[in-house]
Structure 1
Amino acid sequence: MARASSPKRKPSRRPWRRRLILALKILGVIAALGVIALAVTVYTTRAQLPSFDQLKSSPNGQMIRVHAADGTVIVSLGPSYGEWLSYDEIPKVMRDATVSVEDRRFRSHIGIDPIGVLRSVKLMIANWGTDRRIQGASTITQQVARTIFLSNKYTLSRKAHEAILALALERKFSKDQILELYMNKVYYGGGAYGIDAASRKFFGHSAKQLSLGEAAVIAGLVKAPSHYSPTADAEAAIGRAGVVLQLMAETGAITPEQAADTDPKSVALAPEPHQNSVRYFTDWALPQLDMLIDETNAPLDVWTTLDLSMQRAADTAIKADVPKGVQGALVSIDRDGAVRAMVGGKDYVSSIYNRATTAVRQPGSSWKLFVYLAALEAGYKPDDMVVDEPVTIQGWSPRNDSGHFSGAMKIRTALAYSVNTIAAKLGQDVGFHTVADMARRFGITTPIDTTPAMVLGTSEVHLIDMTRAFASVANKGIAVTPYGITKVTANGVTIYQHEVDRSHVLVAPYVAAEMTDLLQTAVATGTGRAAQIGRPVAGKTGTTTSNKDGWFLGFSSGLTTGVWMGRDDAKRVGGLSGGHAPARAWHDYMIKAVAGRPVEQFDTQVTLPEWQLEPDEESYFGQPDNGMFVDENGYPIAPGTYPGDTPTGPPPQQGYPDAYPGGTYPPDGSRTAPPEQPPVQQPPERLDQDWMDRVLGRTPDPDRRAAPAPARTPPPNDRSRGP
């Protein structure tokens, strides 16, 4: 008889439920212990907090004295404090504007804002894996804690400490006291701590008389004092003030009608005190302190590389040689990377924008430095023959500014007269990516185009990066890294000392020597002749589309200097070219800057190019050396199709080689030959040893007689070397 089968029992879920309940209990106990520990920490911190009067008198901000290379104090920076205003003395519109824009739940939270924290966590999750820093969750109380007790270093431990301090502050002081501390201590930019100092700096009167528009401007500064400062960027400050007014209307601090009737543009700013071009340098150098030192409280003395006599010469050269309506910039770097002079614009007061370090512009033919470096490294030699002839690369057909092709020529001749077809052929031979890699190797930090037209300088660059590249060539191929701070002392103790790294070799010394050889020729007889200073000089000009940019970069006697000129809106400048105003400014600066330095000869003497090749118009008349062939993006365009490409005057006429001595031209950029003057045939300049002695400042041998000039016979084509 079969045994009756018993029904299957369902597995009991009670063990899982018991485990879940146990886990929840453990978590509850941990949370309770955490809350108790937090409460103990907060109240312990509260007991250790200074009194309100002690917090009012506590120091904040850091005094910094900046020294030039000779020890002269050039700038004193640090906190400026106005009158301490009690809560009742602070205008209501200022209090309301601050709360509306910085912490609209200030009156209701406990020191930290849970809603703000959740929003910050949500943004952090959304931006996970990026470099974007999430901000905006800090309450006014947290900012008070950070301003008085902590640093601005962004770490999780600092944020946790900040939160505990904020909770403790809320337990010890009233909301009015915390807001009073905040508004008298927070940094508003320009060295101003507290609303009274900010009001006096920006508006010229006490904060007790702040209007609604002025209060909106000041309240908007806290988020980014340097960016929204009305003295640095009035448009950004006005736009930010408009946001503050909208937030005040949203929170009910003012009516929508009041917000609409208040025009931040009508706010009158106090005049800025006189500032000179030294501030371009200090604005570039001082932010580097955050990476060099950790000291945030002790007064600092910062010793820099700036040479005041060179800086004055640079400032004078830029102001004197930059055409009207055009901006200019100059950077001068010593052989070890020390920045000796920096001018970021014609007038620091009217524009603090540093065109030497921040602006990005097309370098024109000065970019050919990297093309020829890549070619020399690949095995080309300065006297190798190449053929100037029509060439098409990936649908792009570069042309020379002279409008003709000269056949076989040496590489030194091609660079001296900035022959575009040769640069294109060399770039194609070595590879456009190889040229880009060479530029990266020499310190170009901006994006690099790798289309064929890149050889003519279509990629935008920083002036300081290009100057650094030329300095590395001058340094025999060893990398030069620009620096501005030599040492930092705190209370007399050195806490930072710069050390020069001379170990990074970019190219072999012979490649750097050959490149210097080519650059000497460009200055001695080519497009950069206006930069001759009576001693050995190596350099290169650059002119871009429709004369929008003019460059000259070169080195002599251990000093490398780069000059850029152009309009901030990148519109054309009639007559501007690298061989004219920029080369003249370079000359005017360098002839003073190197006056006290010994004359240094390069590894090779100047070698004349094939003198049967007549200089092109870039050499005499400053036509753009890549302008008529590519647009801003490096794509080919037909000659004459660019707006305004028609010359403002008739083309240079035969018989007027000296119509514009030194490359000068009227302010409007026109180049019209003198009327009713019969053509005068000038004899060609004799390019012999006496001529080279005169260019290089050497004493000629009185017993030596110049040899007769050779016949102008072009070299046979069978000697040419095609890239």
Structure 2
Amino acid sequence: MARRPRKSQAAQRARSAAPSRGQRRSPRRKRKSGGGFPWFRIAACLVIIASLFIGGLLVSIARDLPDTSGLEAVERTATITFLDQDGALIARRGSAHGHEVTIDELPPYLVDAVLAVEDRRFYSHPGIDVIGLGRAMVANLRAGRVVQGGSTLTQQLAKNLFLSPERTLRRKVQEMMLAFWLESRFSKDEILELYLNRVYFGGGAYGVEAASLRYFSRPASELGLGEAALLAGLLKAPSRYSPVNDAQRAAARATVVLDLMAQTGRITDAERIDAASTPIRVSRGASSQGAQYFVDWAAEQVRGIAGLDHGDLVVHTTLDVDAQRAAERALSTILDDDDLAAGAGEGALVSLAHDGAVRAMVGGRSYARSQFNRAVLAQRQPGSAFKPFVYASAFEAGLTPEDRRNDAPVRIGDWAPQNYNDEYRGEMSLREGFIRSSNSIAVQIAEETGRGHVARLARRLGIESPMRVDRSLALGVFEVTPLELASSYAPFANGGLRASAYGIDRIESADGDLVYAAAPAGGELVLDARTGQRMRDLFLTNVRQGTGRRAAVSGLTIGGKTGTTNDFRDAWFAGFNSELVTVVWTGNDDNSPTERATGGGPPARIFQAYLQNAPRHGLGAAPIAAPDALADILAASLDPSPEATSDAPATNAETDTDSGEDPIGAFLAGLGGRD
């Protein structure tokens, strides 16, 4: 048999050193099976790490949770209740909490209204409504912003009781934790009672009982279905839907709540229709949002009288809610009409009784949009509304309304004031100069009488603001507030008595003890009878035939004076009847020019609309009437054409803020609505 050839020892060693196919694969299998943890192990580690992190985060958040030991104690501050002159509620300031109510004391439909609009599944969820949260998330993702909330009523209670309103993830987690805690400690009815007795309903009212008294002047147990729906509708946005700020919006929101109640089977369609068709009557005081300007003003005085540590107080004010509502309607009606407003975006009205008691105060078009009280705080130039003080000073010095002066250009040193459109009418009586609001004649008699005497008389009658006692004083080139001007006009209406404006008649403690009482009416005599009668004749003539004709009210004897400042920035009407002294200002907050609005335009129209609807009590001085002889003189001496009177700003070489008056005939001539 042939022998296989022997291989060399070197070849054998090389073959033995080379690994076999199996040996070559084995190390790969070991590396593949042992090169890391399996995926499930990795996932388990991640879950453990995440759980530890979340647990630590929750512990950290829980450590910052607020103290809940005072849950059942209602923290409140002293409440100030403001009543009008007839005892009607105007407002409550402070933390106004009503007494605690139970579910059994409330009408079932009130509870149903709250649940329908705030938390439909309240009795079935454990404090967190997963369905509601999911629905809210979808709605917010679709809208690209937060349009819907998913908080339960329990979460809202937790937030209101313990947390700040900030919108952060940390606060939201704390809210959920507290909601679970509340649900574990209290029954559903107890949570609902806590909510209804703590939640804010706007208007300073915390709790359903306080809100019912605030808006309807009766306890929550006596509310009807429509009123219950209105209160439930406030919870989404108390200021936005408050009937104090917007009655129509509040009513529309109440209708939405009724619809939700019907959709969820809490009321029938017949009940919904009946409630929606029944008018909701908000209490007289609560229905006047503009009265909040007055309350702000009065509240500051209460703090000065009673101090900061007072208890609950009842403030009896001089405000007449019916007059207040008439004033608000008049201002909004004119300024909401672009043609009548003539570019005036804001306005203010102050109406005083002849003794200075404030009957109405409107500090702006909307208290909800701006709480700045223009009636008390806005410093604006009075323009020609200051000229009555010039004429009264001249009459005190011995001049009469029949004295004549030349309506012609005047120059005092390097200062040459001009009439409107640089128009002059020659010789005329002071009466005619007053109703035409001639700048020339006003400056002449101020110089004759003495500027110092004019300033002293204005101070005596009630002007308190600094006055520029220079050549432009006669044209009202300084700043006053509407309230100040109204007070200083009162002596012209009441027989010459100084009458400082006041709004508080008396203050009582919650127990009825007298804390403060206003001094009896009866001011100092600051205007003699002869001067007062002559001035009233001029005021009456101005409304009858002059720049104030649009302020005339059928059946009332009205006197007054218009004012318009340079570039038509400010327009005024200051006037009176036998009961009230009323000042109206219109203009723009940024002091920008209007569209040629004059005192005989928007302010006179507002004055007229107000007095047409203000209550007439038959109080005050006897009706003011011009003598028949005066009417004969007027008919003979005055140009009957409407173009004869002016009430618009004048051009002034010394200052561009002096004012005169604008022609009445401009309206008839179609010149941009001027009067």
* In the alignment, structure 1 residue 426 sits paired with structure 2 residue 450: no
* In the alignment, structure 1 residue 493 sits paired with structure 2 residue 501: no
Structure 2 equivalent of residue 547 of structure 1: 568
Question: What's the Cα RMSD here?
Answer: 3.9
| Greater share of residues in helix | 2
Distance, in Å, in 2 between the alignment partners of 1:635 and 1:596 is: 37
Structure 2 equivalent of residue 312 of structure 1: 325
Query: Alpha-carbon deviation of 1:440?
Result: 1.6
Query: TM-score, normalized by length of structure 2?
Result: 0.58
For residues 185-213 of structure 1, the C-alpha deviation after alignment (integer angstroms, 9 at most, x for no partner) is: xxxxxxxxxxxxxxx99x98962563689
* In the alignment, structure 1 residue 303 sits paired with structure 2 residue 319: no
AA in 1 matched with 2:404: M
Structure 2 equivalent of residue 70 of structure 1: 86
AA in 2 matched with 1:626: A
Distance, in Å, in 2 between the alignment partners of 1:375 and 1:514 is: 11
For residues 635-672 of structure 1, the C-alpha deviation after alignment (integer angstroms, 9 at most, x for no partner) is: 99xxxxxxxxxx9xxx999xx97466xxxx9xxxx459
For residues 518-565 of structure 1, the C-alpha deviation after alignment (integer angstroms, 9 at most, x for no partner) is: 111111111111111132211100001111111000010121100000
Checking the alignment, whether the CA contact within 8 Å between 1:363 and 1:542 is kept in structure 2 is yes
Give the counterpart of 2:559 among 519, 533, 538.
Answer: 538
Structure 2 equivalent of residue 293 of structure 1: 306
* In the alignment, structure 1 residue 560 sits paired with structure 2 residue 576: no
Query: Alpha-carbon deviation of 1:296?
Result: 3.1
Cα 1:205–1:53 change in 2 (3 A) is: closer
Query: Alpha-carbon deviation of 1:299?
Result: 1.3
Checking the alignment, whether the CA contact within 8 Å between 1:513 and 1:603 is kept in structure 2 is no
Cα 1:311–1:619 change in 2 (3 A) is: farther
SS of the equivalent of 1:518 reads: helix
SS of the equivalent of 2:597 reads: coil
AA in 2 matched with 1:65: T
Give the counterpart of 2:416 among 391, 397, 401.
Answer: 397
AA in 2 matched with 1:354: N
AA in 2 matched with 1:286: A
Cα 1:308–1:549 change in 2 (3 A) is: same
Distance, in Å, in 2 between the alignment partners of 1:632 and 1:301 is: 49
AA in 2 matched with 1:564: W
Distance, in Å, in 2 between the alignment partners of 1:634 and 1:468 is: 23
Cα 1:209–1:277 change in 2 (3 A) is: closer
Checking the alignment, whether the CA contact within 8 Å between 2:562 and 2:647 is kept in structure 1 is no
Structure 1 equivalent of residue 258 of structure 2: none
For residues 12-54 of structure 1, the C-alpha deviation after alignment (integer angstroms, 9 at most, x for no partner) is: xxxxxxxxxxxxxxxxxxxxxxxxxxxxxxxxxxxxxxxx999
Distance, in Å, in 1 between the alignment partners of 2:472 and 2:356 is: 31
Cα 1:635–1:478 change in 2 (3 A) is: closer
Query: Alpha-carbon deviation of 1:400?
Result: 1.6
SS of the equivalent of 1:495 reads: strand
AA in 2 matched with 1:313: A
Structure 1 equivalent of residue 482 of structure 2: 463
Query: Alpha-carbon deviation of 1:393?
Result: 1.1
Structure 2 equivalent of residue 61 of structure 1: 77
Cα 1:213–1:304 change in 2 (3 A) is: farther
Query: Alpha-carbon deviation of 1:312?
Result: 0.8
Distance, in Å, in 2 between the alignment partners of 1:379 and 1:652 is: 30
Distance, in Å, in 2 between the alignment partners of 1:611 and 1:214 is: 83
Structure 2 equivalent of residue 519 of structure 1: 539
Cα 1:615–1:290 change in 2 (3 A) is: farther
SS of the equivalent of 1:356 reads: helix
Checking the alignment, whether the CA contact within 8 Å between 2:493 and 2:578 is kept in structure 1 is no
Structure 2 equivalent of residue 601 of structure 1: 623
Distance, in Å, in 1 between the alignment partners of 2:365 and 2:522 is: 34
Distance, in Å, in 2 between the alignment partners of 1:566 and 1:494 is: 42
Distance, in Å, in 2 between the alignment partners of 1:452 and 1:484 is: 36
Query: Alpha-carbon deviation of 1:391?
Result: 1.2
Cα 1:615–1:400 change in 2 (3 A) is: farther
Checking the alignment, whether the CA contact within 8 Å between 2:490 and 2:499 is kept in structure 1 is yes
User: Which structure has the larger Rg over C-alpha atoms?
Assistant: 2
Cα 1:55–1:544 change in 2 (3 A) is: same
SS of the equivalent of 2:375 reads: coil
SS of the equivalent of 2:387 reads: helix
Distance, in Å, in 2 between the alignment partners of 1:380 and 1:53 is: 79
AA in 1 matched with 2:596: G
Report 1:350-369 matches (<5 A).
350-369=369-388
Structure 2 equivalent of residue 133 of structure 1: none
Query: Alpha-carbon deviation of 1:590?
Result: 1.0
For residues 243-293 of structure 1, the C-alpha deviation after alignment (integer angstroms, 9 at most, x for no partner) is: xxxxxxxxxxxxxxxxxxxxxxxxxx9855443101011111111113333
Structure 2 equivalent of residue 529 of structure 1: 549
Query: Please, which runs of 5 or more residues in structure 2 have no aligned partner?
Result: 1-67, 98-155, 172-201, 203-236, 246-288, 336-340
SS of the equivalent of 1:487 reads: strand
* In the alignment, structure 1 residue 624 sits paired with structure 2 residue 648: yes
SS of the equivalent of 1:303 reads: strand
Query: Alpha-carbon deviation of 1:594?
Result: 5.4
Checking the alignment, whether the CA contact within 8 Å between 2:393 and 2:457 is kept in structure 1 is yes
Structure 2 equivalent of residue 579 of structure 1: 600
Distance, in Å, in 2 between the alignment partners of 1:278 and 1:213 is: 40
Query: Alpha-carbon deviation of 1:619?
Result: 6.8
Query: Alpha-carbon deviation of 1:301?
Result: 0.8
Give the counterpart of 1:450 among 469, 475, 485.
Answer: 469
SS of the equivalent of 1:500 reads: coil
Checking the alignment, whether the CA contact within 8 Å between 1:575 and 1:623 is kept in structure 2 is no
SS of the equivalent of 1:332 reads: strand
Checking the alignment, whether the CA contact within 8 Å between 2:542 and 2:560 is kept in structure 1 is yes
For residues 283-338 of structure 1, the C-alpha deviation after alignment (integer angstroms, 9 at most, x for no partner) is: 11111113333583321111111111111110011001122651011000001211
Structure 2 equivalent of residue 282 of structure 1: 295
* In the alignment, structure 1 residue 510 sits paired with structure 2 residue 516: no
Distance, in Å, in 1 between the alignment partners of 2:93 and 2:314 is: 10
AA in 2 matched with 1:414: G
Structure 1 equivalent of residue 458 of structure 2: 439
The number of residues matched between the two structures is 431
Distance, in Å, in 1 between the alignment partners of 2:654 and 2:333 is: 31
AA in 2 matched with 1:517: D
Checking the alignment, whether the CA contact within 8 Å between 2:508 and 2:516 is kept in structure 1 is yes
Cα 1:548–1:208 change in 2 (3 A) is: closer
Distance, in Å, in 1 between the alignment partners of 2:529 and 2:647 is: 34
Cα 1:536–1:341 change in 2 (3 A) is: same
Distance, in Å, in 1 between the alignment partners of 2:392 and 2:533 is: 10
Query: TM-score, normalized by length of structure 1?
Result: 0.54
Distance, in Å, in 2 between the alignment partners of 1:213 and 1:439 is: 62
AA in 2 matched with 1:574: E
Identity %: 32
Query: Alpha-carbon deviation of 1:628?
Result: 6.0
Structure 2 equivalent of residue 642 of structure 1: none
Distance, in Å, in 1 between the alignment partners of 2:441 and 2:558 is: 23
* In the alignment, structure 1 residue 327 sits paired with structure 2 residue 351: no
Report 1:233-244 matches (<5 A).
none
Checking the alignment, whether the CA contact within 8 Å between 1:401 and 1:616 is kept in structure 2 is no
SS of the equivalent of 1:452 reads: coil
